[in-house]
Amino acid sequence: MTAPGPIDASADGRARAVIEAVTPQVDAGRFAVKRVVGEHLDVEADCFADGHDVVAARLLWRPENESAWREVPMAPLANDRWRAGVLLEAVGAYRYTVRAWVDAFASWRRDFARREDPADLRTAARVGATLIADAARRAGAGERARLEAWADALATVAPDTTAPDTAARDGVARGDTAPARRGLRDLGLDPALGALAQAHAEPRFAVTHPELPLVVDRERARFGAWYELFPRSTSAVPGRHGTLRDTAAWLPYLAELGFDMLYLPPIHPVGRTKRKGRNNALAAGPGDPGSPWAIGAAEGGHTAIHPELGTIADFRRLMAAARERNIEVALDVAFQCSPDHPYVREHPQWFRHRADGTVQHAENPPKMYEDIVPLDFECDDWRALWRELADVMLFWAAEGVRAFRVDNPHTKSFRFWEWAIAEVKRAHPDAVFLAEAFTRPKVMHHLAKLGFSQSYTYFAWRNTRRELVDYLTELAHGPGREYLRPNAWPNTPDILTEQLQHGGRAAFAARLVLAATLAASYGVYGPAFELAERAPRAPGSEEYRDSEKYELRHWERDRPDSLAPLVARVNRIRRENPALQSNESLRFLDIDNEQLLCALKSSADGENVIVAVVNLDPHHPQSGWVDAGPDAFGLAGDAPWQMHELLTGARYLWSGRRNFVSLDPAKVPAHIFRVRRRVRTERDFDYFL
C-alpha cells in the first residue's frame, strides 16, 4: 500500500468550493480578453461545492495598476452556472477573477425556513445568532447595533418556547404551537435584516480562480472607417511630388466622405540603392520616387520625414488640421530598411549578411525585394534592437499619433510584438494597432492575442454568399470574438481582386456596402476605390497597373462616375446607427436567391435594427424573398412594419414571413434598411419610430 503524500501547506483543505469553466478567457488566461469603453464584461463560471450547502460567488476586477479589488455578486443561472457583469468606463489594462465559497449564513437561512420541530427551530435560531453576531463585528456602528439586537433576540429564546414575543409564548402555553413557530421563523427570516447580515458575512475558506487579463480600448479599436492615401500623390499639380501640406488640403474631402481615420503609408526618406521603378521594375528611371516601404536614406530613418513631403512642423500642422475635422491620422509601422538606412551603417549586427559580407535583402520566393533589407530578430544584439524599434513608435506617439497600421507583423518576432505593444500602451493606453497580416489563420489569430487591436481579414477574397456568411459568422461569433477585431478592406495598394477587376463599378459599390455593414471597422485604399481603379499590372495579377507604390499619381476626384457620394452616404448611415458599430449582433437571414445576401444587426438595447441586402452579381438584376417573420426584426405581433431604405430614402411596408426585394447593379446594388416600428398614439393614428 502506497503511503499518503504530504499535505500541501499552501492550500487550506477546508476550502470546499470549486470554480470551473470561467468565461470569457483566452488560452487559460495567457492572453487578454478585449473590450472597449462603454461595453460590459460579462463573466460566467461553474461554482459548486460538496454536499448541500449554499454556495456564493463574486466577480472581482481591478485596474492592473491598483491592488484593491472591486467586487460584484454573481447571480445563479442554472446547473451551478453563475454570472455577473461590470460596465467598463476607462481605457487600460485590467485583471479579473471569480471567488466562490460555502455561504454559511445563506445555508442557515435556507435550512431554518424548512425546519418544523420547535426544539429544532430553537437550536437553529441560536446557531443563526452566532453567525449574525459575527457579521455585526464587521459592520459600521448603526448597522452593527441592528444586527446585534437581532442576534440577541434569536439567542435569548426561552427554552420552553419557540418565539421571543409574549403572544407567541401564550399561544404555546395553550398548546397552539403553529403561531409560535411562525413568530420565530419570521424573525429569523426577516428579509431586511437578512440582507444586512449577508452584506457583512465573511467568505470563509473562499476559493479564488487564477487572475485573468483584460484590455479595455477606446471606441476606435472597435468602430471606424479608414482611408488610405499616399501623401506624395496629393499634389494639385500633375507630376509634382505631393507634400504634407497638400495632404492637409485633402482633409475637407475626407471629412465629406465621412472617414474617421486617415492612414498614411511610410512618410520617411526613401532609399536610393536598388530603388524600384514604375510597375516594380528592377531599375528606377530618373525621377522615379521608389517604394515608400524601402525606408531610410542619408536624410534619416524611421523617425525622419521624407524631405519632399515636408518637415516635422508640417506633420504637426497636418495632425492639428485633422483633429479639427475629427479625423485621426494613423501611421504605417514598417520595420524594415533600405540598404541606405542609417541602421545598416550604425548597427550592422541587426541584419543578416551573405557569405560575401553584403547585407541580405528581403525575399519571398519567387518575389524578391532588392530595395529592402530585413532586420534580424535572432541577432545577438536583439535587446537593443527591440528597444530601438519600440522607441520609434514612442517617438511618433509623442507627436500625437495614437493609431499604427503595422506592415507584415507576421514576418517579425511574436515575442517582440507582445513586448513592444505593451510598452507603447503602458505609456499611451489609448494606442490602437492594426495588423496587416494576410497570412495563415492561426498566425493571424496569434498576433491578435499578442495585443494587436484590429486585424486585416480575408474579406477581400470571400465572394459567394456561402463564403461571406461562413466567414463573417466565424469572425463575429467564433472563439476569436474575444480578442480578434476584424477590419474589412475591399482593396489595398497590394490587393486588386478579380471581383473588382471584372465586376466594374457595381462590384465596388457592393463590396463597399458589404464591408461597411458586415464589419464595424472597414477601410478603403483611395482614391483608387471611389474612382473604381481596376486595371491590373498583368492578367492574373492583383497588382495595380501604374501602382502609386512606385510612382506619383494625380487623381481627378471630381469625376462624375466617382462613388464618393455613395461612400459618404454609407459612412453617414454607419455613424447614425449604433447597430452597425459592433459585430456581436450580426446574423444572416434566409433569402431564396444565392446571388443575394441579407444580414441583420441590432443595437444593444434592440431599438436600432439594420438590415442590409446586397446583390452579389455585379452584372445582372437579382430578386428574391426574404424569409423572416416580425420576431426576427425585434417586433411583436403580426402588424405590418416599415423598412426605411437609408441609401435612397424610400420606404417600404413589410408584413408576414416573406417579403420581396429586387436589386439592379446598374443602379444601386444594395439596400440598407432601418426597421421602423409601428406605434399607435393616443390620437388613434399610426406612425413609425
Q: Quick count: other Cβ atoms within 10 Å of Cβ 673? A: 25
How far apart CA 24 and CA 494 sit, in angstroms, is 36
To the nearest 10 degrees (0 to 180), the angle between helices 177-188 and 104-114 is 160
Q: DSSP 3-state assignment of 508? A: helix
Sign of CA dihedral 561, 564, 567, 572: negative
Q: Is 467 a catalytic residue?
A: no
* Nine-digit cell string for 661: 426585394
Write out the H or E segment, with its range, that includes residue 661. Answer: strand 658-663
Contacts of 446 (CB under 8 A, 6+ apart): 414
How far apart CA 447 and CA 652 sit, in angstroms, is 45
Cα-based distances in Å from 591 to 115, 121, 584, 626: 60, 65, 21, 4
Instruction: Given the residues 314, 371, 436, 551, select the one marked as catalytic.
Output: 436
Instruction: Given the residues 134, 314, 407, 548, select the one marked as catalytic.
Output: 407
How far apart CA 455 and CA 484 sit, in angstroms, is 7
Contacts of 365 (CB under 8 A, 6+ apart): none
Q: DSSP 3-state assignment of 242? A: coil
How would you list the strands of the sheet with 670-676, edge to edge? 587-588, 596-602, 609-615, 670-676, 641-645, 651-654
Q: Quick count: other Cβ atoms within 10 Å of Cβ 653? A: 12
What is the chain's length?
689
Q: DSSP 3-state assignment of 55? A: strand
β-pair type (486-488, 454-456): parallel
Q: Is 407 a catalytic residue?
A: yes
- The answer to whether 610 and 672 have CB atoms below 8 angstroms apart is yes
What percent of the residues of the chain are helix, what percent strand, and what percent coil, each to the nearest 5? 35, 25, 40
Q: What is the b/e burial string over 128-158, where b = at least 16 CB atoms within 10 angstroms of the residue's CB?
A: bbebbbbbbeebeeebbebbbebbebbbebe
Contacts of 6 (CB under 8 A, 6+ apart): none
Find how far residue 283's CA is from the centre of its chain: 44
- The answer to whether 331 and 305 have CB atoms below 8 angstroms apart is no
Residues serving a catalytic function are 407, 436
